[in-house]
Structure 1
Amino acid sequence: MSGDADRTGDTAGGGSDDDARDPAEIADEIQRPVLLFDGVCNLCNRSLRLLVKFDHAGRFRFAPLQSPVGKELLTRHGLDSDYFDSIVLIDGDDYYTKSEAALRVCRELDGPLPLLYALMAVPEGVRDRVYDFVGDHRYQVFGRKEACPVPDEELRQRFLERSLD
């Protein structure tokens, strides 16, 4: 397996020179769906660990919204590079935020989580109000880190950038 395949999301594995690579170069090579998340949010970090447990095929790659690659992907999709109010699912040229991003991710997972996709029948405004309520209180309920924590090895292999090594 080559280090380049790691960074594009085609395979999992180590690589420690990503911190020297241009975020635009990494973004150009992405070939799998990427989930951008709030790297300092404890709820987001716990959810990411759960997602990995139910993504047996390794379909998704990850990047903190605050990371250089995260900011590059936000900008490429017309979002403010300081947009931290929602997870963002990047899938090819398309992107999804809030409840739609979460439910689209659930649809692709193993186990019972794809059943949650049925919530797409709930009007988006209602779903997003619930999403926003949880998001508005996530730091008070779940806490936050001062910086993105270094993930364990299993999770780290799924990140677009390996600058956390």
Structure 2
Amino acid sequence: MGSRRKQAEEERREKLIVLYDGTCNLCLASVRRLKELQSTAILRFIPVQSLEDTYETIPELSAVTEEQLLTKMHVVEMDGTVHAGAAGVVRILRTVRGLRWLAPLYRVPGLRGAADFMYRFIAGRRYEWFGKADEGCHDGACALPKKD
């Protein structure tokens, strides 16, 4: 009986798909940290570079190029709502115990613009400041080199 209850609770939990740059060291570290936090939602993290391999269909992003996806993190809700950049971070914060109090600050006049600017500023320099992971590395695992 406990198993059914747990399954029912899982089905009711909100589900978010988080698309991120799998070669960005800052992005990889951020995803690792987010996985450690207690979220009320089920967060599914997918590197943009692996999106085709997951067989995930996200119709709301069909018109978005991979290059556009790599400019900022995208969070997709099950109803199709897409949050990108700082708005995506805020959307995740709304689900994290102990941090959800930060989310309403994004609605304060002037803070949304400042948060969006800071996100773009850091995202535009992320490789320069934090480096770039091997293209074959995603979720902390790297592909082995092919043998000749």
Q: Would you say same fold, with TM above 0.5?
A: yes
Structure 1 residue 46 corresponds to structure 2 residue 32: no
- Map Cα deviations across residues 2-43 of structure 1 (whole Å, 9 max, x no partner): xxxxxxxx79xxxxxxxxxxxxxxxxxxx8210000000010
Alpha carbons 1:65, 1:71 under 8 Å: kept: no
Displacement of 1:145 in angstroms is 1.1
Q: Following superposition, which runs of at least 4 residues in structure 1 exceed 4 angstroms of deviation?
A: 69-72
Preserved contact between residue 39 and residue 148 of structure 1 (Cα < 8 Å): no
Task: Give the corresponding residue for 2:88.
Answer: 101
**Which residue is 1:16 aligned to?**
none
Contact 1:64 1:70 survives alignment (8 Å): no
Q: Percent identity?
A: 23
SS in 2 for 1:62: strand
Q: Report the alpha carbon displacement of residue 74 of structure 1 after superposing the two structures with TM.
A: 7.3
- Residue deviations 1:87-139 (CA, integer Å, cap 9, x gap): 0001021111011110110110123x222213312443332111100101111
The total of aligned residue pairs comes to 125
Out of 78, 81, 98, the position equivalent to 2:66 is 81
- Greater share of strand residues, 1 or 2? 2
- Give the structure with higher Rg (CA): 2
Aligned-partner residue type, residue 136 of structure 1: G
Please give the secondary structure, in 1, of the residue aligned with 2:22.
Answer: coil
Aligned equivalents of 1:40, 1:74: Cα separation in 2: 24
Partner of 1:7: none
RMSD value, Cα: 2.9
2:49 maps to which residue? 66
CA distance in 2 between counterparts of 1:145 and 1:116 reads 30
Gaps of 5+ in 2: 1-9, 144-148
